[in-house]
Chains A and B, each alone.
Chain A
Amino acid sequence: MTQHGQLASSHPISSIDPFSPEFLADPYPFHHELREAGAVVWLERYSTWTVARYDDVHRTLNDWQTFCSNRGVGMSDFAKEKPWRPPSLVLEKDPPDHDRTRSVLNKVLSPAVMKTLRERFARAAEAKADELIEIGEFDAIVELAQGFPLSVFPDAVGMRKDGREHLLPYAGAVFNAFGPDNDLRRNAIERAAPHISWIAEQCQRQNLALDGLGAKIFAAADAGEIAMEEAPVLVRSLLSAGLDTTVNGFGAAIFCLGRFPDQWAKLHANPSLARAAFEEGIRFESPVQTFFRTTTKPVSLGGVQMDEGSKVLMLLASANRDPRKWENPDSYDIERRTSGHVGFGSGIHMCVGQLLARLEGEVMLSALASKVRSIEITGEPKRAFNNTLRGLESLPVAIKAK
Protein backbone atom coordinates (compact mmCIF):
# COMPACT_ATOMS: atom_id res chain seq x y z
CA MET A 1 0.00 0.00 0.00
CA THR A 2 2.87 2.37 0.79
CA GLN A 3 4.09 2.10 -2.73
CA HIS A 4 0.68 2.98 -4.11
CA GLY A 5 0.30 5.74 -1.54
CA GLN A 6 3.44 7.33 -2.96
CA LEU A 7 1.97 7.11 -6.43
CA ALA A 8 -1.31 8.59 -5.29
CA SER A 9 -1.11 11.55 -7.63
CA SER A 10 -0.63 9.42 -10.73
CA HIS A 11 -3.83 7.37 -10.63
CA PRO A 12 -7.34 7.58 -9.23
CA ILE A 13 -7.99 5.78 -5.95
CA SER A 14 -11.42 4.71 -4.77
CA SER A 15 -12.78 3.40 -1.50
CA ILE A 16 -15.70 1.71 -3.28
CA ASP A 17 -16.21 -1.98 -2.43
CA PRO A 18 -17.71 -3.67 -5.51
CA PHE A 19 -18.70 -6.67 -3.40
CA SER A 20 -20.52 -4.82 -0.61
CA PRO A 21 -24.27 -5.33 -0.17
CA GLU A 22 -24.87 -1.68 -1.15
CA PHE A 23 -22.95 -2.09 -4.40
CA LEU A 24 -24.56 -5.41 -5.26
CA ALA A 25 -28.04 -4.01 -4.56
CA ASP A 26 -27.59 -1.04 -6.88
CA PRO A 27 -24.26 -0.99 -8.75
CA TYR A 28 -25.13 1.74 -11.24
CA PRO A 29 -24.17 4.90 -9.30
CA PHE A 30 -20.87 3.18 -8.36
CA HIS A 31 -20.24 2.15 -11.96
CA HIS A 32 -20.77 5.74 -13.02
CA GLU A 33 -18.37 7.02 -10.37
CA LEU A 34 -15.67 4.50 -11.35
CA ARG A 35 -16.04 5.19 -15.09
CA GLU A 36 -15.70 8.91 -14.45
CA ALA A 37 -12.73 8.47 -12.10
CA GLY A 38 -10.45 7.21 -14.86
CA ALA A 39 -9.53 4.41 -17.25
CA VAL A 40 -7.94 2.41 -14.44
CA VAL A 41 -8.82 2.92 -10.78
CA TRP A 42 -7.09 1.58 -7.67
CA LEU A 43 -9.52 -0.06 -5.23
CA GLU A 44 -7.84 0.53 -1.89
CA ARG A 45 -10.21 -1.82 -0.07
CA TYR A 46 -8.69 -4.81 -1.90
CA SER A 47 -5.39 -3.48 -3.28
CA THR A 48 -6.53 -4.29 -6.78
CA TRP A 49 -7.10 -2.38 -10.00
CA THR A 50 -10.42 -2.04 -11.76
CA VAL A 51 -11.51 -1.06 -15.26
CA ALA A 52 -15.04 0.24 -15.75
CA ARG A 53 -15.09 1.80 -19.22
CA TYR A 54 -16.06 -0.24 -22.27
CA ASP A 55 -12.82 0.21 -24.23
CA ASP A 56 -10.61 -0.74 -21.31
CA VAL A 57 -12.72 -3.74 -20.33
CA HIS A 58 -12.77 -4.91 -23.96
CA ARG A 59 -9.03 -4.45 -24.32
CA THR A 60 -8.32 -6.35 -21.10
CA LEU A 61 -10.58 -9.22 -22.16
CA ASN A 62 -8.84 -9.45 -25.53
CA ASP A 63 -5.22 -9.38 -24.36
CA TRP A 64 -4.71 -12.71 -22.63
CA GLN A 65 -0.94 -12.47 -23.06
CA THR A 66 -0.89 -9.50 -20.66
CA PHE A 67 -4.03 -10.20 -18.62
CA CYS A 68 -3.94 -13.91 -17.87
CA SER A 69 -6.55 -16.27 -16.47
CA ASN A 70 -4.40 -19.09 -15.10
CA ARG A 71 -3.85 -17.20 -11.84
CA GLY A 72 -7.62 -17.34 -11.31
CA VAL A 73 -10.43 -15.18 -12.65
CA GLY A 74 -11.56 -14.22 -9.17
CA MET A 75 -9.86 -12.09 -6.55
CA SER A 76 -7.78 -14.99 -5.23
CA ASP A 77 -4.35 -15.24 -6.90
CA PHE A 78 -3.61 -18.91 -7.62
CA ALA A 79 0.11 -18.07 -7.60
CA LYS A 80 -0.22 -17.17 -3.93
CA GLU A 81 -3.22 -19.10 -2.63
CA LYS A 82 -4.41 -22.64 -3.15
CA PRO A 83 -7.56 -22.59 -5.32
CA TRP A 84 -10.71 -23.62 -3.40
CA ARG A 85 -11.41 -26.28 -6.07
CA PRO A 86 -9.27 -27.82 -8.84
CA PRO A 87 -9.07 -25.04 -11.48
CA SER A 88 -11.22 -25.15 -14.59
CA LEU A 89 -9.46 -26.48 -17.70
CA VAL A 90 -10.84 -23.63 -19.81
CA LEU A 91 -11.84 -20.64 -17.68
CA GLU A 92 -8.71 -20.72 -15.54
CA LYS A 93 -6.17 -21.68 -18.21
CA ASP A 94 -4.28 -19.76 -20.87
CA PRO A 95 -3.02 -20.92 -24.26
CA PRO A 96 -1.67 -23.32 -25.29
CA ASP A 97 -3.34 -25.55 -22.61
CA HIS A 98 -6.58 -23.62 -22.91
CA ASP A 99 -6.97 -24.05 -26.66
CA ARG A 100 -6.94 -27.84 -26.64
CA THR A 101 -9.74 -28.16 -24.10
CA ARG A 102 -11.64 -25.16 -25.38
CA SER A 103 -11.78 -26.55 -28.91
CA VAL A 104 -13.53 -29.65 -27.55
CA LEU A 105 -16.20 -27.49 -25.89
CA ASN A 106 -16.46 -25.36 -29.05
CA LYS A 107 -17.41 -28.49 -30.96
CA VAL A 108 -19.79 -29.79 -28.29
CA LEU A 109 -21.63 -26.44 -28.25
CA SER A 110 -21.26 -25.50 -31.93
CA PRO A 111 -23.90 -23.92 -34.19
CA ALA A 112 -24.29 -27.32 -35.87
CA VAL A 113 -25.10 -29.00 -32.53
CA MET A 114 -27.56 -26.19 -31.71
CA LYS A 115 -29.52 -27.07 -34.85
CA THR A 116 -30.04 -30.57 -33.48
CA LEU A 117 -31.39 -29.20 -30.16
CA ARG A 118 -33.60 -26.45 -31.55
CA GLU A 119 -36.77 -28.41 -32.22
CA ARG A 120 -36.76 -30.16 -28.86
CA PHE A 121 -36.13 -26.89 -27.01
CA ALA A 122 -38.84 -25.10 -28.99
CA ARG A 123 -41.40 -27.79 -28.11
CA ALA A 124 -40.48 -27.55 -24.43
CA ALA A 125 -40.82 -23.75 -24.61
CA GLU A 126 -44.31 -24.01 -26.13
CA ALA A 127 -45.34 -26.37 -23.35
CA LYS A 128 -43.86 -24.09 -20.69
CA ALA A 129 -45.65 -21.05 -22.13
CA ASP A 130 -48.99 -22.89 -22.12
CA GLU A 131 -48.41 -24.01 -18.55
CA LEU A 132 -47.61 -20.46 -17.40
CA ILE A 133 -50.66 -19.00 -19.16
CA GLU A 134 -52.76 -21.59 -17.37
CA ILE A 135 -51.37 -20.47 -13.96
CA GLY A 136 -51.68 -16.76 -14.84
CA GLU A 137 -49.90 -15.37 -11.76
CA PHE A 138 -46.57 -16.81 -10.69
CA ASP A 139 -43.01 -16.15 -9.58
CA ALA A 140 -41.16 -15.56 -12.85
CA ILE A 141 -37.83 -16.57 -11.31
CA VAL A 142 -38.93 -19.96 -10.03
CA GLU A 143 -41.43 -20.93 -12.71
CA LEU A 144 -39.83 -19.41 -15.78
CA ALA A 145 -36.21 -18.32 -15.29
CA GLN A 146 -35.36 -21.51 -13.40
CA GLY A 147 -38.18 -23.67 -14.68
CA PHE A 148 -37.44 -23.51 -18.37
CA PRO A 149 -33.62 -24.06 -18.33
CA LEU A 150 -34.13 -26.85 -15.79
CA SER A 151 -36.59 -28.50 -18.16
CA VAL A 152 -34.15 -28.60 -21.08
CA PHE A 153 -30.51 -28.15 -20.03
CA PRO A 154 -29.88 -31.11 -17.68
CA ASP A 155 -31.48 -33.45 -20.23
CA ALA A 156 -29.43 -31.96 -23.06
CA VAL A 157 -26.25 -32.63 -21.06
CA GLY A 158 -27.56 -36.12 -20.29
CA MET A 159 -27.67 -35.84 -16.53
CA ARG A 160 -29.24 -38.21 -14.05
CA LYS A 161 -32.77 -37.34 -12.94
CA ASP A 162 -31.99 -37.41 -9.23
CA GLY A 163 -30.06 -34.72 -7.39
CA ARG A 164 -30.51 -31.91 -9.89
CA GLU A 165 -31.39 -29.61 -6.98
CA HIS A 166 -27.62 -29.43 -6.36
CA LEU A 167 -26.97 -27.61 -9.65
CA LEU A 168 -28.02 -24.09 -8.71
CA PRO A 169 -26.39 -24.04 -5.24
CA TYR A 170 -23.17 -25.42 -6.74
CA ALA A 171 -23.08 -22.75 -9.43
CA GLY A 172 -23.95 -20.13 -6.83
CA ALA A 173 -20.90 -21.18 -4.81
CA VAL A 174 -18.63 -21.13 -7.87
CA PHE A 175 -19.66 -17.58 -8.72
CA ASN A 176 -19.51 -16.39 -5.10
CA ALA A 177 -16.00 -17.81 -4.86
CA PHE A 178 -14.68 -15.36 -7.49
CA GLY A 179 -15.27 -12.59 -4.97
CA PRO A 180 -13.26 -11.54 -1.92
CA ASP A 181 -13.22 -13.40 1.37
CA ASN A 182 -16.57 -11.92 2.49
CA ASP A 183 -19.68 -13.45 4.07
CA LEU A 184 -21.13 -14.41 0.70
CA ARG A 185 -18.00 -16.35 -0.26
CA ARG A 186 -17.39 -17.94 3.16
CA ASN A 187 -21.00 -19.10 3.55
CA ALA A 188 -21.11 -20.48 0.02
CA ILE A 189 -17.89 -22.48 0.37
CA GLU A 190 -18.85 -23.71 3.84
CA ARG A 191 -22.07 -25.18 2.48
CA ALA A 192 -20.65 -26.41 -0.81
CA ALA A 193 -19.45 -29.89 0.23
CA PRO A 194 -22.60 -31.89 -0.63
CA HIS A 195 -22.99 -30.03 -3.91
CA ILE A 196 -19.35 -30.59 -4.87
CA SER A 197 -19.58 -34.32 -4.25
CA TRP A 198 -22.81 -34.67 -6.24
CA ILE A 199 -21.31 -32.67 -9.13
CA ALA A 200 -18.16 -34.82 -9.09
CA GLU A 201 -20.32 -37.94 -9.37
CA GLN A 202 -22.46 -36.46 -12.13
CA CYS A 203 -19.35 -35.67 -14.16
CA GLN A 204 -18.40 -39.35 -14.39
CA ARG A 205 -19.05 -41.15 -17.64
CA GLN A 206 -21.35 -43.81 -16.22
CA ASN A 207 -23.70 -41.08 -14.96
CA LEU A 208 -24.09 -39.37 -18.33
CA ALA A 209 -26.59 -40.42 -21.01
CA LEU A 210 -25.03 -41.79 -24.18
CA ASP A 211 -26.67 -39.18 -26.43
CA GLY A 212 -26.02 -36.00 -24.42
CA LEU A 213 -23.49 -33.18 -24.56
CA GLY A 214 -21.56 -34.70 -21.65
CA ALA A 215 -21.02 -37.92 -23.60
CA LYS A 216 -19.59 -35.90 -26.50
CA ILE A 217 -16.83 -34.65 -24.19
CA PHE A 218 -15.94 -38.24 -23.29
CA ALA A 219 -16.02 -39.12 -26.99
CA ALA A 220 -13.38 -36.43 -27.55
CA ALA A 221 -11.27 -38.15 -24.90
CA ASP A 222 -11.76 -41.48 -26.71
CA ALA A 223 -10.52 -39.75 -29.86
CA GLY A 224 -7.40 -38.59 -28.03
CA GLU A 225 -8.21 -34.86 -28.21
CA ILE A 226 -8.04 -34.59 -24.41
CA ALA A 227 -6.88 -36.95 -21.68
CA MET A 228 -9.53 -39.23 -20.18
CA GLU A 229 -9.04 -37.66 -16.73
CA GLU A 230 -9.73 -34.22 -18.21
CA ALA A 231 -13.18 -35.21 -19.50
CA PRO A 232 -15.02 -35.04 -16.14
CA VAL A 233 -13.42 -31.68 -15.37
CA LEU A 234 -14.70 -30.33 -18.69
CA VAL A 235 -18.16 -31.74 -18.00
CA ARG A 236 -17.96 -29.84 -14.71
CA SER A 237 -17.64 -26.61 -16.74
CA LEU A 238 -20.99 -27.33 -18.40
CA LEU A 239 -22.61 -27.94 -15.03
CA SER A 240 -21.17 -24.92 -13.25
CA ALA A 241 -21.51 -22.37 -16.06
CA GLY A 242 -24.48 -23.67 -18.01
CA LEU A 243 -27.47 -23.20 -15.76
CA ASP A 244 -27.28 -20.38 -13.22
CA THR A 245 -26.15 -18.04 -15.99
CA THR A 246 -29.16 -18.75 -18.20
CA VAL A 247 -31.45 -18.59 -15.16
CA ASN A 248 -30.20 -15.06 -14.54
CA GLY A 249 -30.36 -14.30 -18.25
CA PHE A 250 -34.06 -15.16 -18.27
CA GLY A 251 -34.58 -13.28 -15.03
CA ALA A 252 -32.98 -10.25 -16.68
CA ALA A 253 -35.12 -10.47 -19.81
CA ILE A 254 -38.41 -10.89 -17.94
CA PHE A 255 -37.54 -8.17 -15.42
CA CYS A 256 -36.75 -5.84 -18.35
CA LEU A 257 -39.86 -6.73 -20.33
CA GLY A 258 -41.99 -6.19 -17.22
CA ARG A 259 -40.46 -2.75 -16.59
CA PHE A 260 -40.55 -1.63 -20.23
CA PRO A 261 -44.11 -2.45 -21.42
CA ASP A 262 -43.52 -0.68 -24.76
CA GLN A 263 -40.78 -3.23 -25.47
CA TRP A 264 -43.12 -6.11 -24.61
CA ALA A 265 -45.69 -4.63 -26.99
CA LYS A 266 -43.03 -4.52 -29.69
CA LEU A 267 -42.06 -8.13 -29.03
CA HIS A 268 -45.69 -9.25 -28.93
CA ALA A 269 -46.26 -7.59 -32.31
CA ASN A 270 -43.13 -9.18 -33.75
CA PRO A 271 -42.02 -12.37 -31.98
CA SER A 272 -39.04 -12.68 -34.32
CA LEU A 273 -37.42 -10.07 -32.04
CA ALA A 274 -37.27 -12.69 -29.24
CA ARG A 275 -33.59 -13.47 -29.67
CA ALA A 276 -32.69 -9.78 -29.73
CA ALA A 277 -34.85 -9.16 -26.65
CA PHE A 278 -32.91 -11.83 -24.75
CA GLU A 279 -29.57 -10.46 -25.93
CA GLU A 280 -30.43 -6.89 -24.94
CA GLY A 281 -31.44 -8.21 -21.51
CA ILE A 282 -27.93 -9.65 -21.19
CA ARG A 283 -26.40 -6.28 -22.07
CA PHE A 284 -28.78 -4.35 -19.84
CA GLU A 285 -28.51 -6.49 -16.68
CA SER A 286 -25.21 -8.34 -17.28
CA PRO A 287 -26.01 -11.53 -15.33
CA VAL A 288 -22.25 -12.09 -14.97
CA GLN A 289 -21.13 -8.74 -13.56
CA THR A 290 -17.39 -9.15 -13.18
CA PHE A 291 -14.30 -11.22 -13.75
CA PHE A 292 -10.68 -10.70 -12.75
CA ARG A 293 -7.47 -11.09 -14.69
CA THR A 294 -3.85 -11.01 -13.46
CA THR A 295 -1.08 -9.06 -15.20
CA THR A 296 1.75 -11.19 -16.55
CA LYS A 297 4.12 -8.22 -16.87
CA PRO A 298 4.27 -4.54 -16.02
CA VAL A 299 1.70 -2.81 -18.22
CA SER A 300 0.48 0.69 -18.84
CA LEU A 301 -3.23 1.22 -19.40
CA GLY A 302 -4.81 4.64 -19.72
CA GLY A 303 -1.53 6.19 -18.56
CA VAL A 304 -1.49 4.12 -15.37
CA GLN A 305 1.42 1.77 -14.72
CA MET A 306 0.43 -1.59 -13.24
CA ASP A 307 2.98 -4.01 -11.77
CA GLU A 308 3.36 -7.61 -12.84
CA GLY A 309 1.10 -9.88 -10.78
CA SER A 310 -1.61 -7.26 -10.26
CA LYS A 311 -5.20 -8.35 -10.08
CA VAL A 312 -7.50 -6.39 -12.40
CA LEU A 313 -11.27 -6.40 -11.84
CA MET A 314 -13.22 -6.00 -15.08
CA LEU A 315 -16.65 -4.44 -14.52
CA LEU A 316 -18.46 -6.06 -17.45
CA ALA A 317 -21.80 -4.63 -16.37
CA SER A 318 -20.37 -1.12 -16.31
CA ALA A 319 -18.87 -1.55 -19.79
CA ASN A 320 -22.28 -2.63 -21.04
CA ARG A 321 -23.76 0.69 -19.90
CA ASP A 322 -20.86 2.98 -20.75
CA PRO A 323 -22.30 6.02 -22.54
CA ARG A 324 -18.95 6.28 -24.38
CA LYS A 325 -20.03 3.14 -26.23
CA TRP A 326 -23.84 2.95 -26.04
CA GLU A 327 -26.54 5.42 -26.90
CA ASN A 328 -29.10 5.73 -24.08
CA PRO A 329 -27.36 2.88 -22.22
CA ASP A 330 -29.93 2.81 -19.41
CA SER A 331 -32.85 2.08 -21.68
CA TYR A 332 -33.81 -1.47 -22.61
CA ASP A 333 -34.33 -1.41 -26.37
CA ILE A 334 -34.93 -4.71 -28.13
CA GLU A 335 -34.12 -3.20 -31.51
CA ARG A 336 -30.68 -2.03 -30.39
CA ARG A 337 -27.61 -3.36 -32.23
CA THR A 338 -26.00 -5.11 -29.28
CA SER A 339 -23.05 -6.64 -31.14
CA GLY A 340 -19.91 -6.05 -29.10
CA HIS A 341 -21.51 -6.09 -25.63
CA VAL A 342 -19.41 -7.96 -23.08
CA GLY A 343 -22.19 -9.72 -21.18
CA PHE A 344 -20.74 -13.02 -22.43
CA GLY A 345 -17.19 -11.66 -22.16
CA SER A 346 -14.98 -11.28 -25.23
CA GLY A 347 -11.79 -12.81 -26.55
CA ILE A 348 -10.60 -16.38 -26.10
CA HIS A 349 -12.55 -16.96 -22.88
CA MET A 350 -15.84 -15.63 -24.20
CA CYS A 351 -18.72 -17.78 -22.97
CA VAL A 352 -18.55 -21.09 -24.79
CA GLY A 353 -22.22 -21.75 -24.08
CA GLN A 354 -23.46 -18.47 -25.54
CA LEU A 355 -25.22 -20.21 -28.42
CA LEU A 356 -27.06 -22.53 -26.06
CA ALA A 357 -28.09 -19.57 -23.89
CA ARG A 358 -29.37 -17.67 -26.93
CA LEU A 359 -31.22 -20.70 -28.23
CA GLU A 360 -32.98 -21.15 -24.88
CA GLY A 361 -33.72 -17.42 -24.71
CA GLU A 362 -35.04 -17.22 -28.23
CA VAL A 363 -37.40 -20.18 -28.16
CA MET A 364 -38.84 -19.36 -24.73
CA LEU A 365 -39.37 -15.64 -25.32
CA SER A 366 -40.72 -16.34 -28.77
CA ALA A 367 -43.28 -18.81 -27.40
CA LEU A 368 -44.37 -16.28 -24.77
CA ALA A 369 -44.39 -13.37 -27.22
CA SER A 370 -46.87 -14.97 -29.55
CA LYS A 371 -49.21 -16.24 -26.82
CA VAL A 372 -49.07 -13.52 -24.16
CA ARG A 373 -50.51 -10.03 -24.58
CA SER A 374 -49.14 -8.43 -21.43
CA ILE A 375 -46.80 -9.15 -18.58
CA GLU A 376 -47.14 -7.19 -15.36
CA ILE A 377 -44.93 -7.09 -12.28
CA THR A 378 -47.37 -7.55 -9.39
CA GLY A 379 -45.12 -7.38 -6.32
CA GLU A 380 -41.77 -6.20 -5.05
CA PRO A 381 -38.93 -8.03 -6.83
CA LYS A 382 -36.47 -9.60 -4.37
CA ARG A 383 -32.78 -9.49 -5.21
CA ALA A 384 -30.49 -12.52 -4.97
CA PHE A 385 -27.05 -11.59 -3.67
CA ASN A 386 -23.95 -13.15 -5.22
CA ASN A 387 -20.41 -11.80 -5.60
CA THR A 388 -20.48 -12.26 -9.38
CA LEU A 389 -24.02 -12.94 -10.55
CA ARG A 390 -26.73 -10.33 -10.74
CA GLY A 391 -30.27 -11.57 -10.60
CA LEU A 392 -33.45 -11.88 -8.61
CA GLU A 393 -34.65 -14.38 -6.07
CA SER A 394 -38.28 -13.72 -6.85
CA LEU A 395 -40.29 -11.65 -9.32
CA PRO A 396 -44.07 -11.91 -8.96
CA VAL A 397 -45.79 -11.43 -12.31
CA ALA A 398 -49.18 -11.79 -13.94
CA ILE A 399 -49.55 -12.57 -17.62
CA LYS A 400 -52.59 -12.24 -19.85
CA ALA A 401 -53.08 -14.50 -22.82
CA LYS A 402 -53.68 -13.07 -26.26
Chain B
Amino acid sequence: MPNITFLNPDGSRQTFDIAEGVSVMQGAVANGVGGIVGECGGNAMCATCHVYVDGSQVASFPPMSANEDALLDGTANDRKPNSRLSCQILVTEAVGGLVVELPERQI
Protein backbone atom coordinates (compact mmCIF):
# COMPACT_ATOMS: atom_id res chain seq x y z
CA MET B 1 0.00 0.00 0.00
CA PRO B 2 1.25 3.51 -0.80
CA ASN B 3 2.26 5.55 2.21
CA ILE B 4 1.24 9.15 2.78
CA THR B 5 2.85 11.51 5.29
CA PHE B 6 0.92 14.27 7.05
CA LEU B 7 2.92 17.20 8.45
CA ASN B 8 1.08 18.83 11.33
CA PRO B 9 1.32 22.58 12.01
CA ASP B 10 3.16 21.80 15.27
CA GLY B 11 5.92 20.14 13.29
CA SER B 12 4.98 16.54 14.13
CA ARG B 13 4.52 14.07 11.31
CA GLN B 14 2.37 10.98 10.84
CA THR B 15 2.83 8.39 8.09
CA PHE B 16 0.19 5.83 7.13
CA ASP B 17 -0.14 3.09 4.57
CA ILE B 18 -3.38 3.86 2.76
CA ALA B 19 -5.24 1.50 0.45
CA GLU B 20 -5.31 2.38 -3.23
CA GLY B 21 -8.64 3.68 -4.49
CA VAL B 22 -9.64 5.83 -1.53
CA SER B 23 -8.91 9.54 -1.32
CA VAL B 24 -6.15 11.04 0.81
CA MET B 25 -8.94 12.68 2.85
CA GLN B 26 -10.64 9.33 3.52
CA GLY B 27 -7.31 7.77 4.44
CA ALA B 28 -6.60 10.61 6.86
CA VAL B 29 -10.02 10.41 8.52
CA ALA B 30 -9.83 6.62 8.84
CA ASN B 31 -6.44 6.98 10.56
CA GLY B 32 -7.62 9.72 12.90
CA VAL B 33 -5.61 12.60 11.45
CA GLY B 34 -7.16 15.50 13.36
CA GLY B 35 -6.07 18.21 10.93
CA ILE B 36 -8.36 16.91 8.18
CA VAL B 37 -12.09 17.36 8.76
CA GLY B 38 -13.83 16.32 5.53
CA GLU B 39 -17.26 17.59 6.54
CA CYS B 40 -18.88 16.86 3.18
CA GLY B 41 -17.56 13.31 3.08
CA GLY B 42 -15.52 13.72 -0.08
CA ASN B 43 -17.96 15.46 -2.41
CA ALA B 44 -15.76 18.52 -3.00
CA MET B 45 -18.28 20.84 -1.39
CA CYS B 46 -16.86 22.07 1.93
CA ALA B 47 -13.11 22.82 1.65
CA THR B 48 -12.32 21.35 5.09
CA CYS B 49 -9.74 18.82 3.84
CA HIS B 50 -7.34 21.49 2.58
CA VAL B 51 -3.67 20.45 2.29
CA TYR B 52 -0.45 21.91 0.96
CA VAL B 53 1.20 19.38 -1.29
CA ASP B 54 4.97 19.10 -1.47
CA GLY B 55 5.91 21.39 -4.34
CA SER B 56 7.86 18.83 -6.34
CA GLN B 57 4.89 16.44 -6.28
CA VAL B 58 1.98 18.76 -6.97
CA ALA B 59 3.03 19.31 -10.58
CA SER B 60 2.57 15.63 -11.42
CA PHE B 61 -1.08 15.56 -10.28
CA PRO B 62 -4.00 15.66 -12.68
CA PRO B 63 -5.28 19.26 -13.00
CA MET B 64 -7.93 20.37 -10.52
CA SER B 65 -11.56 20.89 -11.50
CA ALA B 66 -13.04 24.38 -11.70
CA ASN B 67 -15.11 23.47 -8.65
CA GLU B 68 -12.07 22.54 -6.54
CA ASP B 69 -10.38 25.70 -7.73
CA ALA B 70 -13.34 27.83 -6.57
CA LEU B 71 -13.56 26.05 -3.21
CA LEU B 72 -9.88 26.68 -2.52
CA ASP B 73 -10.62 30.41 -2.65
CA GLY B 74 -12.67 29.98 0.51
CA THR B 75 -10.37 27.86 2.67
CA ALA B 76 -9.95 28.87 6.32
CA ASN B 77 -6.16 29.12 5.96
CA ASP B 78 -4.73 31.03 3.04
CA ARG B 79 -4.56 29.36 -0.31
CA LYS B 80 -1.07 28.82 -1.72
CA PRO B 81 0.04 27.68 -5.19
CA ASN B 82 0.38 24.12 -3.81
CA SER B 83 -3.06 24.05 -2.15
CA ARG B 84 -5.33 21.09 -2.93
CA LEU B 85 -8.41 19.45 -1.46
CA SER B 86 -7.27 16.06 -0.22
CA CYS B 87 -10.64 14.48 -1.09
CA GLN B 88 -9.71 15.05 -4.72
CA ILE B 89 -6.37 13.24 -4.51
CA LEU B 90 -6.87 9.56 -5.18
CA VAL B 91 -4.39 7.20 -3.53
CA THR B 92 -2.52 5.22 -6.19
CA GLU B 93 0.96 3.74 -6.46
CA ALA B 94 1.94 6.96 -8.24
CA VAL B 95 1.28 9.12 -5.16
CA GLY B 96 3.12 6.73 -2.82
CA GLY B 97 5.49 8.67 -0.57
CA LEU B 98 3.39 11.81 -0.88
CA VAL B 99 3.95 14.41 1.81
CA VAL B 100 1.13 16.84 2.59
CA GLU B 101 1.31 19.74 5.01
CA LEU B 102 -1.81 20.47 7.06
CA PRO B 103 -3.03 24.04 7.50
CA GLU B 104 -3.57 25.42 10.99
CA ARG B 105 -7.30 25.62 10.53
CA GLN B 106 -9.90 23.94 8.31
CA ILE B 107 -12.91 25.99 9.51
- With A350-B45, A354-B45 known as contacts, the answer to whether A339 contacts B38 (CB < 8 A) is yes
Contacts from A to B (Cβ < 8 Å): 103, 106-107, 110-115, 275, 279, 337, 339-342, 344, 346-347, 350, 352, 354-355, 358, 362
* B64 within 8 Å of A (CB atoms): no
- Seen from chain B, the residues whose Cβ lies within 8 Å of a Cβ on chain A are 25-26, 29, 32, 37-43, 45-47, 67, 70-71, 73-75, 107
Q: Is the CB of B75 within 8 A of A111?
A: yes
30 sample A-B contacts, Cβ–Cβ < 8 Å, listed by A number? A103-B67, A106-B45, A110-B70, A110-B73, A110-B74, A111-B47, A111-B75, A112-B73, A112-B74, A113-B74, A114-B74, A275-B107, A279-B39, A337-B29, A339-B25, A339-B38, A339-B41, A340-B29, A340-B38, A340-B42, A342-B41, A344-B40, A346-B43, A350-B40, A350-B41, A352-B45, A354-B45, A354-B46, A355-B45, A362-B107
Q: How far is the CB of A117 from chain B (nearest CB, A)?
A: 12
Minimum CB distance partner of A279 in chain B: B39
Is there an interface contact between A347 and B107, defined as CB atoms closer than 8 Å? no
Give Cα A131–Cα B7 distance, bound, in whole angstroms: 43
Bound-complex Cα distance A339 to B38 (A): 6
Number of A-B contacts (CB under 8 A): 56
Find out whether the CB atom of B37 lies under 8 angstroms from the CB atom of A339. Answer: yes
Given contacts A339-B39, A340-B41, A354-B45, 4 further A-B contacts (CB under 8 A): A111-B73, A111-B75, A337-B32, A346-B41
Which of A347, A352, A358 counts the most B-chain CB atoms under 10 A from its CB? A358
CA distance A350 to B29 in the complex (A): 20
- Docked-complex contact B39 and A358, CB < 8 angstroms: yes
Q: Which residues on A sit within 8 Å (CB–CB) of B38?
A: 339-340
Evaluate whether A111 and B74 lie within 8 angstroms (CB atoms) in the complex, with A275-B107, A337-B32, A339-B37 already known: yes
Quote the shortest CB–CB distance from A319 to chain B (angstroms): 12
Query: Nearest chain-A residue to B25 (Cβ)?
Result: A339
Collect the chain B residues with CB atoms within 8 Å of residue A354's CB.
39-40, 45-46
B39 touches A106 (CB 8 A): no
Closest beta carbon of chain B to A222's beta carbon, Å: 19
Of all A-B residue pairs in the complex, the 3 with the closest CB atoms, nearest first, are A111-B74, A112-B74, A339-B38
Q: In the bound complex, how far is the Cα of B40 from the Cα of A347, in angstroms?
A: 10
Which of B38, B40, B71: most chain A CB closer than 10 A?
A: B40
Complex Cα gap A320–B69 (Å): 30
Q: Within the assembled complex, what's the spacing in Å between the Cα atoms of A107 and B45?
A: 11
Closest Cβ neighbor of A113 among chain B residues: B74
Give the shortest distance, in Å, between A98 (CB) and chain B (any CB). 13
Q: In whole angstroms, how far apart are the Cα atoms of A107 and B66 in the complex?
A: 11
- Which residue from chain A places its CB closest to the CB of B74 in the assembled complex? A111
> Do A347 and B43 contact each other (CB < 8 Å), given the known contacts A339-B29, A339-B37?
yes
In the complex, residue of chain A having the shortest beta-carbon distance to the beta carbon of B72: A111
Residues of A within 8 A of B25 (CB): 339
